[in-house]
Structure 1
Amino acid sequence: MSGPQFPPLFTAMATAGADPLAAACAEARKGCDAGLVTWDISPALLRAAIVLAPEVPLREAMIMLPVCGIGFQNALGALAPPEVSVHLGWSGALLVNGGTCGQLTPVASAKDPDAEPDWLVIGLEVTLSREEEDTGLTPDETDLFTEGCSEIEAADLLEAWVRHTLVWINRWSEDGTRPVHSEWQGLAQGLNEETTAEGHTGTFLGVDESFGMLLQSGESTTIIPLTTTLRDIP
């Protein structure tokens, strides 16, 4: 088996059990080309990461997090039974039928919002199945097998994620943020509900033009930049 097949300009690197996010960051620091997809698939987990090089300040480049989320929703939506719903958390959570089933994790070469990063990596982790005895301990979490997606091959989902994400990267490049905003708003988890993020609690009203979270508490509205979701280089 040759492994997942990706569109032209993407290259694949299997990590053979190692963390694909850490591997992608290591390759990015060495100067690899954008479009590298690192991946690892086990019976329990699909893990992958994409190396990107958006030529805009980090504040704007962070739109790649919701873009990759939309790509995942479109990918799973195309492969899963029609009754399966997929929603997106502001900070990268992936929810299937209301339960957390995965996470997108952004890592950049530096964290200055106004500087253009040398590279940006978005990591993907999706729970395919869990040990039966563990499921009762985490009622808010789920897996694809439990949600009726056992027929989906993890490699097919990974290929579809990359393809659909590329579609939305191109759409953002050509049409700007508006279509991304429109698509994401329809998939966002927790809109108009009380939410706590980065030490602030309020009603999640939506996002600003840079996908900063708008939290309303009383008469005041706080904007939490999407750059706060960045994780340290593993």
Structure 2
Amino acid sequence: MTALPFPPVSAADLVRLPKVERRQGTIGRTVFHLAEVDSTNRLMGGLARDGALPGTVVVADHQVAGRGKGERPWFSRPGEGLCLSILLSPKRPIEEVPQLTLVIAVAVAEAITRATGVQPRVKWPNDLLVDGRKLCGILCELLSSADGDVHHVIAGIGLNTGLSVDDFPGSLQAIGTSLAIESGRAIDRFAVLPVLLDHLEAWVELWEREGFAPVRDAWVRLSCTLGKDITLESEGTRCHGVAVDLGIDGSLSIRDESGEVHHFHYGETRLSSAIAG
């Protein structure tokens, strides 16, 4: 996770999103909707600075400066995806907060299957893939106080819903996908949203209450990383080998060609045996 600055925010363009109805729970109790924004994570940082409550959600029809891991741009087209950010205040020790990315990956994967029948798999640490093609990315960022304490996490989710193959730029056509492509039908993104929020609520609460063990079990079941030949890059280090385990702390273990096992808490993985985003 990276620290996020507090940008200025104008609330003039924010409107409540009436299509999301939450009967109970905290996540999504307040949902704001914008036609266009540079980045929902950046906007949420400003809302948090101005006193937004945990569980607040920002949804945009289009992001013009959406970001993925490593500051790479996130491609989107107006109205063809779910671009959202959720403000969270996790009730776990600070050293466990990085696990939240894996918690959210499990929640989103299960929500997608429930809402659409599409069955994505999780790639450590923050992507959802279908047959090796990227369907969804997750970017969690820390909001820290002046003395360095973490008081909020912003969870950004970019889910491709209505994109066709031809909608993707040429460089992404072989590595990107959408719910419409995978299901073969039009997908109402605002029908997916409340299901996604329900699953996020349930999994975050379970993690806060019981720790990472139940999340690990679900992640392993959904994984497209374990048992695969992968390359991992982390802070200038590159490791190639077979992903052999997900630790109880969320770390990924890789056995290299010499048989030595390495453990990583951060990094980016690339699957050698499949197309990876």
* TM-score interval, smaller chain: 0.7 to 0.9
Q: Which runs of 5+ in 2 are unaligned?
A: 1-16, 62-77, 269-277
CA contact (8 A) 2:101 2:140 kept: yes
Q: Report the TM-score, using the length of structure 1 for normalisation.
A: 0.85
- Distance of aligned partners of 1:155 and 1:191 in 2 relative to their CA distance in 1, 3 Å threshold: same
Is 1:4 equivalent to 2:20 in the alignment?
A: yes
Separation in structure 1 between the aligned mates of residue 185 and residue 127 of structure 2, nearest angstrom: 21
| Residue equivalent to 1:140 | 175
* Bigger shift: residues 66-75 or 217-226: 217-226
The amino acid of 2:127's aligned partner reads A
Secondary structure, aligned partner of 1:146: helix
| Residue equivalent to 2:273 | none
Separation in structure 1 between the aligned mates of residue 209 and residue 167 of structure 2, nearest angstrom: 48
Shift, 1:219, TM fit: 3.0
Percent identity between matched residues is: 18
Which structure has more relative contact order (CA 8 Å, sep 6+)? It is 1
The amino acid of 1:68's aligned partner reads I
Separation in structure 1 between the aligned mates of residue 205 and residue 125 of structure 2, nearest angstrom: 22
Q: Which runs of 5+ in 1 are unaligned?
A: 230-234
| Residue equivalent to 1:224 | 264
Is 1:152 equivalent to 2:187 in the alignment?
A: yes
- Distance of aligned partners of 1:202 and 1:25 in 2 relative to their CA distance in 1, 3 Å threshold: farther
Secondary structure, aligned partner of 2:222: coil
Q: Report the TM-score, using the length of structure 2 for normalisation.
A: 0.73
| Residue equivalent to 2:68 | none
| Residue equivalent to 2:33 | 14
| Residue equivalent to 2:82 | 46
Separation in structure 2 between the aligned mates of residue 183 and residue 133 of structure 1, nearest angstrom: 33
Give per-residue Cα distances to partners, 1:5-63, cap 9 Å, x unaligned. Answer: 23442311113311212212222233422111111133322100111111333331122
| Residue equivalent to 1:208 | 247
| Residue equivalent to 2:154 | 121
Separation in structure 2 between the aligned mates of residue 203 and residue 85 of structure 1, nearest angstrom: 24
Separation in structure 2 between the aligned mates of residue 75 and residue 170 of structure 1, nearest angstrom: 16
- Distance of aligned partners of 1:204 and 1:38 in 2 relative to their CA distance in 1, 3 Å threshold: same
Aligned residue pair count? 223
Shift, 1:192, TM fit: 1.3
Separation in structure 2 between the aligned mates of residue 157 and residue 149 of structure 1, nearest angstrom: 16
| Residue equivalent to 1:86 | 120
- Distance of aligned partners of 1:36 and 1:133 in 2 relative to their CA distance in 1, 3 Å threshold: closer
Shift, 1:74, TM fit: 1.4
Matching of residues 62-101 of structure 1 within 5 Å:
62-81=98-117, 84-101=118-135
Shift, 1:146, TM fit: 1.1
CA contact (8 A) 1:59 1:210 kept: no
Separation in structure 2 between the aligned mates of residue 149 and residue 36 of structure 1, nearest angstrom: 32
Secondary structure, aligned partner of 2:209: helix
Shift, 1:109, TM fit: 2.1
Give per-residue Cα distances to partners, 1:135-183, cap 9 Å, x unaligned. Answer: 7643122111111253431012111111011111122223322111101
Shift, 1:108, TM fit: 0.8
